[in-house]
Amino acid sequence: MTTTLYGPVFRADPHAVYRTMREEAPVHRVELAGGVEAWLITRYDDAKAALTDPRLVKGVLHPPNRMGIPADVHSAITHHMLSADPPDHTRLRRLVSATFTPRRIDALRPRITELTGELLDAMHGLGEADLIETFAFPLPIAVISELLGVPVEDRDSFRDWSNLVTSPGERRAESPRAVLALHGYVQELIARKRKAPGDDLLSGMLAVRDDGDRLTEDELASTVFLLLIAGHETTVNLIANGAYRLLETRERWVELRARRELLPSAIEEFLRFDSPVQTSTHRVSTAPLTIGGVDVPAGATVLISLLSANMDGARYPDPEHLRLSRTGTPHLAFGHGIHYCLGAPLARLEAQIAFTGLLDRFPELRMAFSPAELTWRPGALIHGLEALPVSGLAP
C-alpha cells in the first residue's frame, strides 16, 4: 500500500496524514507526483540518523531533465552542493561558505528592514489582501536580489522569471520558458560582475579562490539557481505559516505583540510546527538498510519527513500544541548533517524582521477566511498555504 502526498485529504490536513503514518510505521512507501515511489521516514530519531548516514547519497541520482530543457542549461542549474556528495559537496560548500558569511548576512539587516517597510507601506489601506501575494512571497525575492547584487533596473524581470521558476500550481507549466530566460540573465549577470565586481555575493563567489580551486561556470550558475530556489520557496512559507498560526488562535498574536522577547523561540516553533521544507530532498540507498526495523533495499529513493519528525511525541512533549516559548529538542526544519541549510541565519533574520514589521504596523491583523476553506499546497517537498487572506490592513 502506498500513500499519496497530494490528494484532497492530505491538502486539507497534512499533519493528520503524517500523524497516522508515524503511528503506523517508521517507514512508509509513498507515491510522489509523476508516479515515482519512495520510502518515507516519519520518526525523529530515524530521521536524524538517516540525515547523517553515508549510505544515503545524492549523486547516484543525477537529477533527470524532466522539463526537457537543453542539456547545457540543465547542466548549468544542477551542479550545486545540494545535489552533490563528498568530496564534491565539501568543495562546493567550502567555496560558497567562504563568501556567504555571517558578516555578509548581518550587513543585510538595514536593507531587509527597508524592503519590509516598503512592502508594508504598499499594504496600508488595502483593507483585505492575500498576505502571501503582498508580503510573504515578494520579500524573500527582494532580499535574494539584494544579496546576489542584481541591479535595481533588472529587478522587475529578475523577479518575474524567479516567480515563474519558484511559483506553485498551474504557473509551473511556464517554468521551462522562465528557466531559459533566467539562465540567460544569470550568464549575463556573471559576465557583468566579472568585468565590474561589486560588494555582493555573486562578485564574492567569482573572486573566491581556495588553494587554487574555484567554482566552474556551471557551478556558479547552478549555485545562483540553488540560492534563488532554496532561499525563496522556503522563507515565503516560514513567514506565511507563522502568520497563519498567530492569527488562527489570535491570543498568540496578542501575546507576541506584548512579549517581543518571545520572537526568537516563536520562529523556531513555527519552523518545527509547520516545517516549510516538509521532506528532505531525495537520497538513494547505496546498500540495503534497516531503518526503525524496516528493511529498505539498495537503490531505493529515500525521503525524510522533516515535518513529521518535528511532530514526533517521542521527542516533543505535547507536539501538536504550538507553544511560542517552547525549548528542548532542536527541530530538523533546516535539515541535519552535511546538507544542513546554508541559509538558516538569513532565513531567521528575514523572519525576525518580517514578523516585527507585521506586529508593529498592523495590530488589528486578522484571518479573513474560515479554517474550513484553508488548503495546503500539494506535493511532498514544500509545506505552505495556497493563500492567506487577511483583513485589518487599515492605516
Q: Which stretch binds ligand HEM (CB under 6 A): 27-35, 110-118, 247-255, 331-339?
A: 331-339
Residues 74-93 as x/- pattern, contact with ligand HEM by CB under 6 A: -------xx----------x
Give CA torsion, residues 85, 91, 94, 100, to 10 deg: -80
CA dihedral 289, 295, 300, 305 (to 10 degrees): -90
Distance of closest approach, residue 206 Cβ to ligand HEM, in angstroms: 17
The SS3 call for residue 37 is strand
Stretch that binds ligand HEM, among 36-44, 69-77, 127-135, 226-234 (CB under 6 A): 226-234
Q: Confirm if 187 and 221 have CB atoms less than 8 A apart.
A: yes
By the rule CB under 6 A, 383 interacts with ligand HEM: no
Q: Of 117-125, 192-200, 230-238, 358-366, which segment contacts ligand HEM by CB under 6 A?
A: 230-238
Residue among 120, 227, 354, 367 that touches ligand HEM (CB under 6 A): 227
Q: What is the DSSP string of 201-220?
A: HHHHHHH--BTTB---HHHH
Least spacing, CB of residue 82 vs ligand HEM, in Å: 4
Contact between residue 58 and residue 85 where contact means Cβ atoms under 8 Å apart: yes
Residue 272 touches ligand HEM, criterion: CB under 6 A: no
For residue 53, the number of C-alpha atoms closer than 13 Å in the C-beta half-sphere is 21
Tell me how far, at minimum, the Cβ of 10 lies from ligand HEM, in Å. Answer: 19
Distance of CA 103 to the CA centre of its chain: 22
# chain residues binding ligand HEM, by CB under 6 A = 25
Number of H helices, E strands in the chain: 17, 11
Q: How far is the CB of 190 from ligand HEM (least distance, A)?
A: 17
From the list 115, 120, 238, 243, which residue makes contact with ligand HEM (rule: CB under 6 A)?
238
Q: Which stretch binds ligand HEM (CB under 6 A): 67-75, 129-137, 316-324, 333-341?
A: 333-341
Question: Which of 163, 175, 281, 356 lies at the binding interface for ligand HEM (CB under 6 A)?
Answer: 281
Long-range contacts of 137-142 (CB under 8 A, 24+ apart): 137/163, 137/236, 139/112, 139/115, 139/235, 139/236, 139/239, 139/350, 139/354, 140/231, 140/232, 140/235, 140/236, 140/239, 140/350, 141/232, 142/115
Say whether the peptide bond before residue 87 is cis (omega within 30 degrees of 0). Answer: yes
- Residue 98 binds ligand HEM (CB under 6 A): no
Which residue's Cβ has the minimum distance to ligand HEM? 343
Q: How far is CA 238 from CA 93, 169, 198, 354, 359, in A?
A: 24, 19, 30, 10, 16
352 binds ligand HEM (CB under 6 A): no
Interacting residues with ligand HEM between 12 and 71 (CB under 6 A): none
> CA–CA separation, 227 vs 341, rounded Å?
11
From residue 149 to residue 168, the character string flagging contacts with ligand HEM as x (rule: CB under 6 A) and all else as - is --------------------
- Would you count residue 112 as binding ligand HEM (CB under 6 A)? no
First CA to last CA distance, the chain: 53
Give one word for 34, left, alpha or beta, with left for phi > 0 and alpha for psi -120 to 50.
Answer: left
Nearer CB in complex with ligand HEM: 186/347 = 347
**From the list 30, 69, 132, 226, which residue makes contact with ligand HEM (rule: CB under 6 A)?**
226
Please give, one letter per residue, the 3-state secondary structure of 317-337.
CCCCCCCCCCCCCCCCCCCCH
380 belongs to the binding site for ligand HEM (CB under 6 A): no
Q: How far apart are CA 172 and CA 371, in angstroms?
A: 26
How far is it, in rounded angstroms, from Cα 244 to Cα 241? 5
Out of 14, 138, 204, 276, which residue is the one contacting ligand HEM (CB under 6 A)? 276
Choose one: 285-293, 339-347, 360-368, 373-381; the region binding ligand HEM (CB under 6 A): 339-347
Per CB under 6 A, does 333 bind ligand HEM?
yes
Least distance to ligand HEM, CB of residue 189, Å: 16
Among 341, 361, 366, 387, binds ligand HEM (CB under 6 A): 341
Instruction: Give the residues across from 382 on adjacent strands.
Output: 277
Task: Based on the shown chain and the rule CB under 6 A, indicate whether residue 342 belongs to the binding site for ligand HEM.
Answer: yes
Binding-site ranges for ligand HEM (CB under 6 A): 81-82, 93, 144, 226-227, 230-231, 234-235, 238, 276-277, 280-281, 306, 333-335, 339, 341-343, 346-347
